[in-house]
Amino acid sequence: MPTFVNINPFVELSNSVPTIALQGFLIAMAALTIGGVLLDIKHKKNVKYFFDNAKKAKEKAKTNVPTGKKAEIIVKTVAHDVLISGEFCGWKRQVAHLLGMYGTIIFWGASAVLVFKYATPTSVTPVIITNLWHLGMAMTCLGAYWFWFFLRVDVAAEGHKWYRVVFTDLFVLSLVITSTFGLLWSFFQAAGSAWSTLFLVLFVLSNIVLFGGVYWSKFAHMFYKPGAAIQKHLAEADGSRDGLPVPADAPEQFGLGIKREAPRHY
C-alpha cells in the first residue's frame, strides 16, 4: 500500500492554516447543503407534492395496510432500496452506486473526525481514520468514474461520447473531481512536492462547487429517494399504485427482434 494513505494531511496543513478555519470550512459546507436542500424544497415544492400525492394515494387505496405491515415495508425498503441500492437494474449500476455512496459517506465521516479531532500540528491520528479517509475517496472515484465512462445512459445506450458534459452532470462530476483532487493533494503533500498547493486549492474549489451546487444538482436525491421509495412500496401494498395499472399476468412478448442486440435501451 502506498505510504501516503497512512498520513493525515490536515496535520501538516494546520501549520499554515488555523484549525478553526478548517473546521469553519466543514461547517460552511454543511450549511450550504442544508440551505440548498431547503431552497430546493421551497422552489420545486417537491415535498408539498410528495405529501399531497401520499394523501391522494390514501384516498385511492383498495385495502387498509395494517401498521405492522407498513413497518415491515419500511424496514424492507430501507434494507433493499437504500442500503444496498437494490432498485438499480443491473449489477454494474448497483455496484457502481454502492461504491460511490458508501465511498462518499466514509469520506465525509472520516473528514469530520480528522478535521474536528486531529487537525493540529501536534495531533497523533489513529491510522485507521486516515486510511478510511483515503479509502472513501478511492471508492468514490472507482464508482463514479465507472459510471461516468461506461454506465451513464446517454453514453451506454444513446451513443454519446464519454466526454459530452451536460448541466445535469454537475453532481457526479463535482463529486468525483473532489475525491480525485483530495487524493492528489494528499499524495503530493506526503511527497513534499510544491504541487500539493495547487491540488489543495483545486480540492477546496471543487468542494465549494459540490456543496454550493446542491440547489441546481442531483445532490439532494440522497435525501429524497429513500422517502420516494417507501411511498412507492406502500402505494403498491394498498393497491393505489400511484394510479398505475397492475402488471399484466401474461408474460410480455417482444418477438425475436429483441434478441438482435443487447437490451440497453432504457
Q: Applying CB under 6 A, which part among 2-10, 39-47, 96-104, 112-120 lies near ligand HEM?
A: 96-104
All three cell numbers of 166: 451536460
Compute the distance between CA of residue 95 and CA of residue 104 in angstroms, rounded to an integer. Answer: 14
Find the binding residues for ligand HEM in span 184-243 (CB under 6 A).
218, 221-222, 225-226, 229
Binding mask 45-64 for ligand HEM (x = CB under 6 A): --------------------
Q: For ligand HEM, which residue of 8, 104, 130, 240 counts as binding (CB under 6 A)?
A: 104
Three-class SS state of 213: coil
All three cell numbers of 45: 415544492
Q: Does 97 bind ligand HEM (CB under 6 A)?
A: yes
CA distances from 37 to 52, 128, 141 (A): 19, 32, 24
Residues 32 and 220 sit within 8 Å (Cβ to Cβ): no
Q: Does 105 bind ligand HEM (CB under 6 A)?
A: yes
Compute the distance between CA of residue 178 and CA of residue 116 in angstroms, rounded to an integer. Answer: 20
Binding mask 163-182 for ligand HEM (x = CB under 6 A): ------x-xx--x-------
**Burial (CB count within 10 angstroms: exposed 0-12, middle 13-18, buried 19+), residue 46:** middle
Closest CB to ligand HEM among 4 and 92? 92
Closest CB to ligand HEM among 98 and 202? 98
Q: Which of 94, 78, 76, 81 is nearest to 147 (CA)?
A: 94
Q: For ligand HEM, which residue of 8, 11, 40, 100 counts as binding (CB under 6 A)?
A: 100
Q: Does 144 bind ligand HEM (CB under 6 A)?
A: yes
The owner of cell 429524497 is 224
Residues of this chain that interact with ligand HEM (CB under 6 A) are 81-82, 87, 97, 100-101, 104-105, 144, 147, 169, 171-172, 175, 218, 221-222, 225-226, 229
